[in-house]
A and B are shown apart, each in its own frame.
Chain A
């Protein structure tokens, strides 16, 4: 029984850590969105940008809003890595899959984002493809947000399950660390 409650306590602690990384991830989402709006309203690709890798890449450092947008997007994506690590530890397969899918969506966004800059350069000047690139970037970003939102539902379900099913098995001896209800 003690071994079982120790395991339950460990799972509860791990879930608590996952919650912390999810809070951070949501904070970085917000920052990404806010910086993205700055880019949307105030940034335009300068006419002298070269339509090559270094020209496009250097744009990420040319405007503070664009730099912040990319940096926060990278940070919010990277928060999925510890979530996957901890979710694997407590065998939450759905969470692992959802966050892996979210990372994959973001990777698509990391390709289409620079493509927007590329198609907007004066040398290429293809507004139709630039629009498709932006739309794809925004859509996959939204998809990633939805996938991570869904993951939290599974985590909450597991949190409730281990708290009450474990406690009910032996309420007096249970040493479960009750994390804050989310």
Chain B
């Protein structure tokens, strides 16, 4: 009820019903998500440059690939939690951006598996390259969408902080 009143005081802002403490916790989770994205990017770059190097292939059981896939699973889990928070606590844009990130991650994983199953090297053929393309582009899209969801949470947090200060004043 109180949260609904706050929403009326700040038109155009999507504050949700989670409250300041919950929002701060979700924001921390989003930051963890970015660290995992960073690990995913670095392991992907390592595989691309040092393992496949344009000619060699990589299998699903390769240790670096396993770390890469664990990272992607963590990204999926965190984005799923953020999406659920968005749906349950009435933050439509957060839910939509996170849903977009989730879909991107799922399709990117399919692309990655296609890359591995059709040879796992850049010279394995056009299907392998298509898999690589899907994986890379959609991973970046997931990163951007998660980032926008984070900005929405950050904005709501900031507005609630100001409301708290104004309420105290």
Contact = CB atoms under 8 A, between A and B. Distances in A.
Interface stretch (A65-73, A94-102, A133-141): A133-141
Nearest to B139: A33
B140 A30 contact: yes
Given A41-B129, A149-B147, A153-B154, A160 B159 contact: yes
A156 interface: yes
A122 B156 CA distance: 56
Contact of A142 (B38, B49, B133, B159): B38
B154 A168 contact: no
B21 to A, nearest CB: 18
Q: Binding site of B, secondary structure by majority: helix, strand, loop or mixed?
A: helix
A181 B158 contact: no
A161 B151 contact: no
Contact of A164 (B151, B154, B159): B159
Contact of A37 (B38, B46, B133, B155): B133
Contacts of A127: 53
B67 to A, nearest CB: 16
B158 A33 contact: no
A44 B123 CA distance: 12
Interface in A125-182: 127, 131, 134-135, 138-139, 142, 146, 149, 152-153, 156-157, 160-161, 164-165, 168, 178, 181-182
